[in-house]
Chains A and B, each alone.
Chain A
């Protein structure tokens, strides 16, 4: 019952590669990963590809299919036209190891830099009490299967290798938000951490990450925007500002009382200082003139761009956005957090 269909698959390694053409049998109800497995079994036993559960639960088989970041186990063949050529390429944001396998260690490094859950002091195991309604907000973010499609699609790092050091990406913004909203997490500085160490300010809310999320987590609306809003509140509200400057005596004596984790703020090597530190020289993507996409060594556009409807890279603001913006819509990035408390020590002891 199978029909032959045409596929183009990128093959190669860090030293370069090319698209290879294949004709493969496709049966009813199959997904792209089935086709890759058939290719391995019949034509290219050494075609490299990650996969595990084949059920959209482990997030291993991320790749770009016709230029769109997807889980190949969730990409049904029936969504393509019968005579459509299906083009399969590795994730573009991460360095290629071989064929469809990329080096995603960037994500594991960022995960290690994000401070872990801090258990509430004095609450014994078995005595944790939380209401369902309170855990649900964090649970949404814990649905994340770490497929890194959001990281791959985020334009802050997709074509800007330089930003990787200062920018943790949507996956770790939702991790920060998850801990921020955790009813019993003992730390109170998750938002500031996201702003100052994870590069939250680089995000200009194009929602690309939300669009590609296979778990349909509302990354932008439910994690990034609330964190940005509250960071702004904290910075501008004079009462909050005053509160940061004045301590009650017990706070002065008790600081820096961080539960559970030794090393406090210092445990993460924070090269990035968000909008103020290392990245200070880099203008926001919103203030840069539009850039043409990079050309490959052969002088041609990269395949993902090649499939776009128009010349040039896709707008980082999404297709719907037109300019100029109305005055109420302009996002203003507060330029520096260094005015009041910039050093790590001071900051670590600050109660918000």
Chain B
């Protein structure tokens, strides 16, 4: 094995081959750019396949009263008004087009009676809004985009005799460093997992679409890939991260058997009639409806049950509250000693629907439980509990273009790795449409950024040498610390001290322990060679996980309120003052995390008028409300 470096020239490099990455790549290629897609796993295996419920888009196919304004409202409500309003607006306006476009790529969604795309109910969405394919919508999305890329490659083959002429997938490849020329992106450096050989992609524009950070948590639905690579790459390149304290804990992950701990039970189980019960058999969600939602949710089991067949005349069951409310309720029940032996609660569909209806409506759920756990959901209840699922925070981006803020040019981000769109909490179904809307935008604007460049940025060879040294360092310490042990220790710190319910003392302790881990990670070792060596790969991922965890812990300590995916036991209320503040992380010259407060962008007048004053009064300060009341024109 040599230190030979394979060099490639591209216009746009997309890091990440999930929904956002593939959509961005399609757009960059359609704009005529030579595009590379970096996939940490095989092509088509991305974490997007795990999304089950659907993609939210206000097409109004099932309820014609739905439109982008209702969707926008739901998204802002779900995010507790901390969302970047412009992103929520673009998302609500553009997602129907993005879904329809998928049909022209060959997607086959479930249909309504009149042949349109069917849409289903989901927590936090006022109308049935989620385009879906049974409960494997994520798989359909990734396969459709994958096949569209193949079809573009076939066009290129017809034209140039080479499939890879304008769009190439680098499967099982990890990027470890972004390379800069001054403040401009000049390329990306990484290695092929398969061979351990290095590669350098020289490109003026990079789109980050690397997904989330869940692998730093003990109980998580995320795969090994979710080590926060994009977050860390962005930080090191001079970009900023916002709202890293907001992590979504999916309320219903499997807690038994241990091998599948963390695997999600889709929310559509609840949307289709599943109910949550504690060990005493009580349907406890009725006790946890917060005041802000009181009016929209049923107060009796009878009314809740009527809603499934007659949603227009009844209020919805409290099982369909936003995810954070459900997660917190389950956490409370378990802490109060009313949980199952494995530390969860029961989710029951078996007594609510005939077995045949369950297998038809939730086929892969049924399949998954039967095969993985030998549990028959048509006969017995499931044991579920909160699971680290999604990070709302991420790279701070320009809402329209996806360009990263901070000191760097030519860096774009889309999908879970970007922040702002979902505020403090993401609604189910909004992630798949987020991928499509902002994936397209990032690809489009990365392409036009390269057009506007006068001179192509150049990679400095000193930077490449340094990147090679960093990558090889763990292998030179064959007796260094075991990366798996370090990962477990990190997961314990984050799971126990920066988990779903947070406290001042624990967060301070977490920061201290993260600092100790940082010193240990600097001494991590990997035995064996460079060829497909998972120990080495993990050793390199650890430093990304660590810096992102530090951002989360710091921001969680700073934000003294409870909102969406951030719950402080010592500050249990939402604070209108904190609603105006985004917490922004960057790295200083020594590589330490620096935290800053920045104002949340102010919603435009016509958008804020979509809300009732009574609703806004729960979220906003008196000054903001006075501005709302002021006659048009006088408001600032």
Q: Given the interface contacts A54-B263, A111-B150, A117-B147, does A98 sit within 8 Å of B114 by beta carbon?
A: no
- The tally of residues in A whose CB lies under 8 Å from a CB in B reads 71
Q: Given the interface contacts A57-B50, A60-B45, does A145 sit within 8 Å of B139 by beta carbon?
A: yes
- CB under 8 Å from chain A, chain B span 526-549: 526-529, 531-536
B488 nearest in chain A by CB position = A41
B151 nearest in chain A by CB position = A116
Q: Does A284 contact B (CB under 8 A)?
A: no
Q: Does B581 contact A (CB under 8 A)?
A: no
Q: Does A307 contact B (CB under 8 A)?
A: no
A134 CB → nearest B CB, Å: 8
B158 pairs with A262, CB closer than 8 A: yes
- CB under 8 Å from chain A, chain B span 491-546: 526-529, 531-536
Q: Does B260 contact A (CB under 8 A)?
A: yes
| Interface bits B104-119 vs A (CB < 8 Å: 1, else 0) | 1110111100111010
| Interface bits B364-379 vs A (CB < 8 Å: 1, else 0) | 1001100111100000
- CB under 8 Å from chain B, chain A span 25-53: 27-31, 33-34, 40-42, 45-53
Q: Does B47 contact A (CB under 8 A)?
A: yes
B168 CB → nearest A CB, Å: 12
Instruction: Return the contact of B225 from the options A31, A33, A52, A125 (Cβ within 8 A).
Output: A52
B532 pairs with A101, CB closer than 8 A: yes
Q: Given the interface contacts A130-B115, A267-B158, does A31 sit within 8 Å of B140 by beta carbon?
A: no
What are the residues of chain A within 8 A of B50 when measuring CB–CB? 53, 55, 57-58
What are the residues of chain A within 8 A of B116 when measuring CB–CB? 129
B224 pairs with A45, CB closer than 8 A: no
B29 CB → nearest A CB, Å: 14
Q: Does A132 contact B (CB under 8 A)?
A: yes
The segment from B5-13, B93-101, B239-247 found at the interface with A is B93-101
What are the residues of chain A within 8 A of B97 when measuring CB–CB? 125-126
A13 nearest in chain B by CB position = B531
A48 to B193, CA, bound (A): 10
Q: Does A104 contact B (CB under 8 A)?
A: yes
A57 to B224, CA, bound (A): 14
A296 to B147, CA, bound (A): 38
What are the residues of chain A within 8 A of B73 when measuring CB–CB? none
A51 to B534, CA, bound (A): 11
A116 pairs with B147, CB closer than 8 A: yes
A285 CB → nearest B CB, Å: 29
What are the residues of chain A within 8 A of B105 when measuring CB–CB? 117, 119
Instruction: Return the contact of B223 from the options A53, A97, A103 (Cβ within 8 A).
Output: A53
B184 CB → nearest A CB, Å: 34
- CB under 8 Å from chain B, chain A span 276-307: none
What are the residues of chain B within 8 A of A76 when measuring CB–CB? 372, 374
Q: Does A142 contact B (CB under 8 A)?
A: yes
A122 CB → nearest B CB, Å: 12
Describe A's contact surface by its main secondary structure.
loop
Q: Does B194 contact A (CB under 8 A)?
A: yes
What are the residues of chain B within 8 A of A31 when measuring CB–CB? 259-260, 372
Instruction: Return the contact of A97 from the options B134, B157, B194, B526 (Cβ within 8 A).
Output: B194
Q: Does A189 contact B (CB under 8 A)?
A: no
What are the residues of chain B within 8 A of A128 when measuring CB–CB? 100, 103-104
Q: Given the interface contacts A74-B371, A142-B140, does A104 sit within 8 Å of B157 by beta carbon?
A: no
Q: Does A338 contact B (CB under 8 A)?
A: no
B158 pairs with A266, CB closer than 8 A: yes
A50 to B534, CA, bound (A): 9
What are the residues of chain A within 8 A of B108 when measuring CB–CB? 130, 135, 138-139, 142, 182
Q: Does A59 contact B (CB under 8 A)?
A: yes
A29 CB → nearest B CB, Å: 3
Q: Given the interface contacts A45-B483, A129-B114, does A115 sit within 8 Å of B154 by beta carbon?
A: yes
A53 to B97, CA, bound (A): 29
Q: Given the interface contacts A29-B256, A29-B258, A142-B143, does A116 sit within 8 Å of B154 by beta carbon?
A: yes
- CB under 8 Å from chain B, chain A span 127-168: 128-132, 135, 138-139, 142-146
B482 nearest in chain A by CB position = A45
A53 pairs with B534, CB closer than 8 A: no
Q: Does B42 contact A (CB under 8 A)?
A: yes
A30 pairs with B154, CB closer than 8 A: no
- CB under 8 Å from chain B, chain A span 86-133: 97-99, 101, 103-104, 108, 111-112, 115-117, 119, 125-126, 128-132
Can you show 29 pairs from A to B with CB atoms below 8 A apart?
A: A30-B259, A45-B534, A45-B535, A46-B533, A46-B535, A49-B534, A52-B223, A53-B49, A56-B367, A56-B368, A56-B371, A56-B372, A58-B223, A101-B194, A112-B154, A112-B157, A117-B106, A119-B104, A125-B97, A128-B103, A129-B116, A132-B111, A139-B133, A142-B140, A143-B139, A145-B139, A146-B45, A262-B158, A262-B159
B contacts, CB < 8 Å to A: 41-45, 47, 49-50, 59, 96-97, 100-101, 103-106, 108-111, 114-116, 118, 133-134, 136, 139-140, 143, 147-148, 150-151, 153-155, 157-159, 163, 171, 194, 223-225, 256-260, 263, 364, 367-368, 371-374, 482-485, 488, 526-529, 531-536
Q: Which 7 A-B pairs have the closest CB atoms?
A: A29-B257, A263-B158, A117-B106, A46-B528, A116-B151, A45-B535, A129-B115
A contacts, CB < 8 Å to B: 13, 27-31, 33-34, 40-42, 45-60, 73-74, 76, 78, 97-99, 101, 103-104, 108, 111-112, 115-117, 119, 125-126, 128-132, 135, 138-139, 142-146, 179, 182, 185, 214, 216, 261-263, 266-269
